[in-house]
Amino acid sequence: MAAPEWLAIVEEEIIVRLNPKVLAQIEEDTSGFSDRHNRDGDIIYKFNNQELLQVLASSVGITPSSQGAITIWTYYNDLPDKSRNAGATQLSETKQAPILRTLMNVDGDLSQKVCQDILQHPLSDRILKAHSFIVGQISRQFITAIEDYVEAKLRPFAIATISMVTVLTWCEPLRQHFHLSDALIGNCWSIIIVAPITVLIIWWLISKLPFQLPDVPKSLLDIGKWLVAILESRFLQIVAIVFIAALILSWLAVNFALPANAPLKLSIDSIQNFAEPYLPIAIISLRKVIVSALGKIFFRYSFFVKLIFGRFIK
């Protein structure tokens, strides 16, 4: 769900406003939370990704405010007066002192300051537990925001890579199976080079169009999402890793370890010829794993955050 009104980003700082009603809401929303395993299920309260990237930019000194760290202020009000209008409530909240301040660095360091009075509060355990949960939610979403941005920026290159691998693995088998002449297909290596360049040019031209292309029918999108979800399942990702590792090892064995006329080499060659056309599917299956790893690397080192996201966030 979207971030509720008690959780907001104000001037590149994250503000959490708690009260007994909000504590009850958090406890209700988090019931059964430990049973969720997918990435989206790990995040209950979702900020706008672009706003989060602005906060991240401030934490590494890119934006003019330059907070120096991701700052989270937590406020608590025992009995919010519902009879006050919104303006009076906002004025009151601006004068209210925070009970917790959390500073989070992109390298994972965390420092917190707690108001001593809140430790004597009857609901102190619930307040601190809710605060810790919200901090964990924010930390997770920073990683997913970076992953989503990296995925969006790498998407044309991913498609170009998959097209290149597809041509690499399917060109020669198609020529041999259909007995196609060189005049029809030409040199496979030249097509391998041209294919990703063509994909990137088409992607660039589409991004520069002065009008919006018609949307893909929802039924086709649903089919595509269903197929991608199957390919990106944990089981098929493990199969893809084993498959790619086996292809690499067999290629090393054929080219460097086995004699030219060894019977085992001929057997491995035939297995490779059968398996190689399925390499693009294995790469698609591992796409999210690769992007997730890149996102974690970028989030861990502020240098990469500035290098990759600086121009976008300014």
- Look at the chain and report how many structural domains it folds into: 1
Q: Beta strands of 19-173 (E only): which ranges?
A: 70-76, 100-104, 110-114
Question: Phi/psi zone of residue 97: left (φ > 0), alpha (ψ -120 to 50 degrees), beta?
Answer: beta
Q: In what order do the strands lie in the sheet with 100-104?
A: 7-10, 13-18, 70-76, 100-104, 110-114
pLDDT at 239: 92
**Cα–Cα distance measured from residue 234 to residue 241, given in angstroms and rounded to the nearest whole number:** 11
CB contact at 8 A, 94 and 80 = no
**Cα–Cα distance measured from residue 196 to residue 200, given in angstroms and rounded to the nearest whole number:** 6
CB contact at 8 A, 121 and 273 = no
Which residues span the domain enclosing 41? 7-146
Asked, for residue 142, whether it belongs to a domain, the answer is: yes
Asked, for residue 259, whether it belongs to a domain, the answer is: no
> What sign results for the dihedral spanned by CA atoms 159, 160, 164, 165?
negative
Which pair of structure tokens corresponds to residue 265? 């080499």
Which pair of structure tokens corresponds to residue 301? 């080192």
One DSSP character per residue, 138-180 reads HHHHHHHHHHHHHHHHHHHHHHHHHHHHHHHHHHHHHHHHHT-
pLDDT at 89: 47
CB contact at 8 A, 59 and 68 = yes
Asked, for residue 157, whether it belongs to a domain, the answer is: no
Asked, for residue 35, whether it belongs to a domain, the answer is: yes
Asked, for residue 180, whether it belongs to a domain, the answer is: no
Asked, for residue 39, whether it belongs to a domain, the answer is: yes
Q: Compute mean pLDDT per 10 residues along the chain, 314 residues long, and list them.
A: 80 87 87 55 76 77 68 82 46 65 77 84 88 86 77 78 81 70 65 83 82 77 85 89 88 77 77 82 83 68 57 45
SS3 62: coil
Asked, for residue 104, whether it belongs to a domain, the answer is: yes
CB contact at 8 A, 99 and 118 = yes
Asked, for residue 230, whether it belongs to a domain, the answer is: no
**Cα–Cα distance measured from residue 199 to residue 206, given in angstroms and rounded to the nearest whole number:** 11
- Helices (H), strands (E): how many in the chain? 13, 5
